[in-house]
C-alpha cells in the first residue's frame, strides 16, 4: 500500500464505482406527445386567443409546404405569421408550459434512469421542436433547465420575437445529439432516443445507424418501422421497460419486481407486433389498357 492510499481512504461508494464503473448513457427524449399528452402549440394558440381550427389550418398548411423541418411549423408561425407574432410574448410561452398536460411519472423516470438502475447511469435530456421556454416551464422542478433543448428565439425590447436562433426540429435534433456526444465524450452506441412523431425520423435514423437505441411511443406510421422498439402507455415510466430489456438486459420478472419495490404495479403488459396492410383488388393489365383508352 502506498502513502497516498494510507492517508486518503476513498469513500466505500467511490471505491465500488472504481472497481465496477457505471456504464454511462445519454437518454434523450422528445417532449410533445412523448412526455405530454398534447402538442403544446395548441395550448399556446388557445392562450393567444387563436382557435384550435385556425391553428390547425395554419400548421397543417405549413407542414404540407415542407418549407421548414417537420415539427418546426410553430416556430415559423411565431416569427412570420402576423397574428401569432403580434400577440406572443415570452410570458405566454411560460404560461403555456404550465398548462401542458404532462404524462405521469416523469420524475420517477428521471430518478430511475439517473440512479436506480444498478451499474448504469443515464443522463436525461429533452430535445423538442417546441419553444424552449414552453418546455422548460412545463418541466420546471422535474428536469434541469440546462438539460432541455428547444427552439430558441431572440426578442426585441418590446418582448416581440425578432429572430430564430436555433430550430431543434427534424435534422435540428441530430445537431443537438451530436453536440451532446461531443460535450459528454460519449460513444454514439450509448444513446437512447425516444419520440412519437415525424419530427423524430432524422434523429432516430441517425441514432440507429450508429448503434444507438430508439423507442417510439406512438403508432406513427413513419416512426414505428424505424424505432427498434415501440411502447404505448399513458405513463412516462413505461419508457423504462424497453431500456431495461434491451440495454440493461433484464427479464420481465426483474422489471416487475423493480416497479413493485417502488409501489407501482404493471397492471397490463401486452406484447404485440402490428403489421399494417392495405389490400386492394389487383387490376389486370388488359383492363388497365381499356381504362386508358376510355380516358383518352
Ligand atoms: Mg412529439
d(CA 196, ligand 1 centre) in Å: 5
Q: Is residue 40 part of a domain?
A: yes
Rounded to the nearest angstrom, the gap between the alpha carbon of residue 176 and the centroid of all alpha carbons in its chain is 12
pTM: 0.86
- The tally of domains found in the chain comes to 1
d(CA 60, ligand 1 centre) in Å: 15
d(CA 23, ligand 1 centre) in Å: 28
Q: Is residue 274 part of a domain?
A: no
Q: Is residue 268 part of a domain?
A: no
Q: Is residue 294 part of a domain?
A: no
Q: Is residue 282 part of a domain?
A: no
| pLDDT score recorded for residue 209 | 97
Q: Is residue 276 part of a domain?
A: no
Q: Is residue 51 part of a domain?
A: yes
Which alpha helices (DSSP H) does the chain contain, by range? 3-7, 12-19, 40-47, 52-65, 73-80, 82-87, 90-99, 106-111, 132-138, 171-184, 201-209, 240-242, 252-261, 285-295
Q: Is residue 275 part of a domain?
A: no
| pLDDT score recorded for residue 1 | 45
| pLDDT score recorded for residue 279 | 87
d(CA 43, ligand 1 centre) in Å: 14
d(CA 248, ligand 1 centre) in Å: 25
CATH number reported for the structural domain that contains residue 117 in this entry: 3.40.50.1000
Residue pLDDT tens, the chain, 296 long: 444 444 555 555 555 555 668 899 999 999 999 999 989 999 999 999 999 999 999 999 999 999 999 899 999 999 999 999 999 999 999 999 999 999 999 999 999 999 889 899 999 999 999 999 999 999 999 999 999 999 999 999 999 999 999 999 999 999 999 999 999 999 999 999 999 998 999 999 999 999 999 999 998 989 988 999 999 999 999 999 999 999 999 999 999 998 998 888 998 898 877 777 878 888 876 665 555 555 55
Range of the domain at 89: 22-261
Please state the φ and ψ torsions of residue 44, each to the nearest 5 degrees: -65, -45
Amino acid at each position: 500500500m502506498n502513502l497516498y492510499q494510507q492517508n486518503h481512504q476513498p469513500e466505500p461508494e467511490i471505491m465500488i464505482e472504481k472497481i465496477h464503473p457505471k456504464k454511462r448513457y445519454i437518454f434523450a427524449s422528445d417532449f410533445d406527445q412523448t412526455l405530454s399528452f398534447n402538442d403544446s402549440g395548441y395550448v399556446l394558440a388557445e392562450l393567444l386567443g387563436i382557435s384550435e381550427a385556425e391553428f390547425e389550418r395554419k400548421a397543417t398548411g405549413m407542414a404540407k409546404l415542407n418549407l421548414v423541418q417537420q415539427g418546426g411549423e410553430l416556430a415559423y408561425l411565431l416569427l412570420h405569421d402576423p397574428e401569432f407574432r403580434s400577440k406572443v410574448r415570452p410570458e405566454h410561452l411560460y404560461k403555456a408550459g404550465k398548462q401542458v398536460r404532462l404524462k405521469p411519472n416523469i420524475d420517477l423516470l428521471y430518478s430511475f434512469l439517473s440512479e436506480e438502475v444498478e451499474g448504469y447511469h443515464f443522463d436525461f435530456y429533452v430535445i423538442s421542436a417546441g419553444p424552449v421556454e414552453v418546455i422548460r416551464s412545463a418541466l420546471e422542478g422535474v428536469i434541469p433547465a440546462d438539460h432541455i433543448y428547444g427552439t430558441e428565439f431572440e426578442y426585441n425590447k418590446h418582448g416581440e420575437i425578432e429572430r430564430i436562433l436555433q430550430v431543434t426540429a427534424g435534422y435540428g435534433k441530430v445537431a443537438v445529439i451530436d453536440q451532446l456526444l461531443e460535450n459528454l465524450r460519449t460513444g454514439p452506441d450509448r444513446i437512447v432516443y425516444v419520440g412519437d412523431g415525424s419530427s423524430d425520423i432524422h434523429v432516430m435514423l441517425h441514432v440507429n445507424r450508429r448503434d444507438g437505441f430508439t423507442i417510439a411511443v406512438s403508432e406513427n406510421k413513419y416512426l414505428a418501422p424505424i424505432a427498434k422498439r415501440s411502447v404505448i402507455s399513458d405513463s412516462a415510466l413505461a419508457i423504462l421497460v424497453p431500456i431495461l430489456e434491451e440495454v440493461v438486459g433484464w427479464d420481465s420478472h426483474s422489471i416487475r419486481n423493480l416497479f413493485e419495490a417502488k409501489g407501482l404495479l404493471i397492471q397490463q403488459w401486452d406484447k404485440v407486433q402490428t403489421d399494417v396492410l392495405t389490400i386492394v383488388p389487383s387490376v389486370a393489365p388488359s383492363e388497365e389498357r381499356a381504362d386508358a383508352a376510355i380516358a383518352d
